[in-house]
């Protein structure tokens, strides 16, 4: 009786281990063998044959084993980027003999978390408005000063001096206009209309619109669309604005460079589509990269510092997210990840 209950329990545990959507592996540290791997663990590591053995798992998941005290290693959560996936895992030591490791695929979760984070920080609208007040306040103050000096001295100033003051005021006014134009794209935030967008056609049309301007600045633009990508799920107006913002930044970054190129690459990544805008422009330092999405962060004399923040917001509205990689003096690549559309639609 006891025996068969035990048996039943064991086979129950075994089938739980097999069906659970957590990877489980157990390593025997005495014999240096992998003594258990469940189905999910095999799936996670399947692309790489021969990876699932004792030595490989230790060097992949437990790099500090043997060099750090065990209590600093076990029972802690780790993450690992592995073949396009983001894995979270926790190793445990049992009975001084066995290491068992639970592995979770957190790719999707971390994507949704970063979307939520972006939405939260963008929704801090008062922060944005205080920035806008500041940005508009400066030029308006300076216009006021210029005009009052001019008014006080109108009878004494020569026509040339008057013109100088008027010009100064005009310059500030165009700064205000520029800011207002930049803010205009806020209005399309209200209600995204998500639909299937045939990405290759979309890019052909988009590039036709910007090509002339870019050519005038000596920039070559091209696209490469993966054959397995057809539709993405997006609001075409937002997508247009997003690409325009990224292309504008790329073209600014290319200003003093040779052999200026912008490439838009589209590749499938699981059930997402990655659109990568690459330039071989000036690139950015690590410090600059840390500030990119902050409103009003700009390194340009005529910049607003709103472009990337608005871009991120728009990408987020389309349930996507965004990543920037840049190397100083080499170039920048901006990846936006957008959900795939319905196939063959």
Ligand X SMILES: Nc1ncnc2c1ncn2[C@@H]1O[C@H](COP(=O)(O)OP(=O)(O)O)[C@@H](O)[C@H]1O
- The footprint of ligand X (CB under 6 A) covers 249-250, 253, 279, 281-284, 288, 292, 297-300, 303-309, 332
At closest approach, how far in Å is the CB of 179 from Mg ion?
13
Q: Give pairs for 267-272: CB < 8 Å, separation 24+.
A: 267/226, 267/229, 268/226, 268/228, 268/229, 268/340, 269/84, 269/337, 270/84, 270/107, 271/339, 271/340, 272/320, 272/337, 272/338, 272/339, 272/340
Nearer to ligand X, 231 or 304 (CB): 304
At closest approach, how far in Å is the CB of 213 from Mg ion?
15
Check residue 307 for interaction with Mg ion (CB under 5 A).
yes
Nearer to ligand X, 204 or 248 (CB): 248
The residue range among 1-9, 154-162, 207-215, 246-254 that interacts with Mg ion, by the rule CB under 5 A, is 246-254
Q: What is the DSSP letter of 340?
A: B
> Contact, 146 vs 170, CB < 8 A?
no
At closest approach, how far in Å is the CB of 332 from ligand X?
4
At closest approach, how far in Å is the CB of 320 from Mg ion?
19
Q: How many C-beta atoms lie closer than 10 Å to residue 174's C-beta?
A: 11
At closest approach, how far in Å is the CB of 117 from Mg ion?
22
> Contact, 304 vs 136, CB < 8 A?
no
Output the residue with the shortest Cβ distance to ligand X.
307
> Contact, 242 vs 314, CB < 8 A?
yes
At closest approach, how far in Å is the CB of 279 from Mg ion?
12
> Contact, 23 vs 61, CB < 8 A?
no
Nearer to ligand X, 86 or 244 (CB): 244
Output the residue with the shortest Cβ distance to Mg ion.
307
At closest approach, how far in Å is the CB of 36 from Mg ion?
53
Nearer to ligand X, 25 or 253 (CB): 253
The residue range among 154-162, 208-216, 218-226, 248-256 that interacts with Mg ion, by the rule CB under 5 A, is 248-256
Question: Which secondary structure element, helix H or strand E, spans residue 61, and what is its range?
Answer: helix 54-61
**Residue 235 dihedral angles phi and psi, to the nearest 5°:** -95, 115
Site size toward Mg ion (CB under 5 A) is 2
Residue 298 touches which of Mg ion, ligand X, none (CB < 5 to 8 A by kind)?
A: ligand X
Residue 279 touches which of Mg ion, ligand X, none (CB < 5 to 8 A by kind)?
A: ligand X
Distance between CA atoms of residues 67 and 77, nearest Å: 18
| Burial (CB count within 10 angstroms: exposed 0-12, middle 13-18, buried 19+), residue 16 | exposed
Residue 263 touches which of ligand X, Mg ion, none (CB < 5 to 8 A by kind)?
A: none
Distance between CA atoms of residues 236 and 253, nearest Å: 25
The residue range among 120-128, 146-154, 271-279, 300-308 that interacts with Mg ion, by the rule CB under 5 A, is 300-308
At closest approach, how far in Å is the CB of 139 from Mg ion?
19
Measured in whole angstroms, how far is the alpha carbon of residue 298 from the centre of its chain? 18
Check residue 249 for interaction with Mg ion (CB under 5 A).
yes
Distance between CA atoms of residues 114 and 238, nearest Å: 19
Measured in whole angstroms, how far is the alpha carbon of residue 272 from the centre of its chain? 13
The residue range among 148-156, 225-233, 259-267, 307-315 that interacts with Mg ion, by the rule CB under 5 A, is 307-315
What residue ranges bind Mg ion (CB under 5 A)? 249, 307
């Amino acid at each position: 009786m006891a025996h068969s209950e035990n048996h039943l329990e064991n086979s129950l545990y075994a089938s739980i281990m097999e069906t659970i959507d957590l990877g489980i592996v157990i390593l025997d540290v005495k014999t240096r063998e992998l003594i258990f791997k469940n189905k999910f663990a095999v799936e996670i590591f399947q692309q790489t044959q021969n990876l699932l053995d004792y030595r490989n798992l230790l060097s992949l998941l437990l790099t500090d084993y043997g060099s750090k005290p065990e209590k600093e290693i076990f029972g802690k959560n780790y993450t690992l980027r592995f073949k396009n996936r983001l894995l979270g895992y926790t190793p445990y030591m049992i009975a001084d003999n066995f290491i068992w490791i639970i592995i979770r695929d957190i790719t999707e979760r971390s994507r949704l978390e970063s979307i939520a984070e972006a939405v939260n920080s963008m929704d801090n609208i008062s922060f944005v408005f205080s920035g806008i007040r500041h940005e508009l306040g400066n030029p308006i103050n300076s216009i006021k000063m210029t005009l009052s000096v001019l008014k006080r001295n109108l009878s004494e100033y020569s026509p040339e001096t008057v013109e100088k003051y008027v010009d100064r005021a005009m310059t500030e006014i165009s700064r205000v206009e520029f800011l207002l134009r930049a803010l205009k794209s806020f209005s399309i935030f209200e209600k995204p209309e998500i639909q299937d967008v045939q990405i290759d056609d979309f890019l052909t049309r988009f590039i036709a619109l910007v090509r002339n301007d870019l050519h005038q600045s000596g920039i070559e633009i091209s696209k490469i669309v993966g054959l397995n990508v057809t539709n993405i799920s997006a609001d075409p107006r937002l997508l247009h604005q997003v690409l325009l913002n990224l292309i504008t930044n790329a073209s600014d970054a290319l200003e003093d460079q040779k052999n200026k190129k912008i490439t838009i690459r589209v590749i499938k990544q699981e059930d997402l589509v990655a659109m990568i805008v690459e330039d071989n422009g000036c690139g950015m330092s690590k410090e600059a990269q840390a500030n990119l999405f902050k409103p009003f962060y700009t390194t340009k004399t005529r910049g607003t510092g709103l472009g990337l923040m608005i871009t991120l917001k728009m990408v987020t509205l389309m349930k996507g997210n965004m990543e920037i990689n840049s190397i100083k003096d080499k170039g920048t690549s901006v990846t936006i990840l957008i959900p795939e559309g319905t196939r063959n639609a």
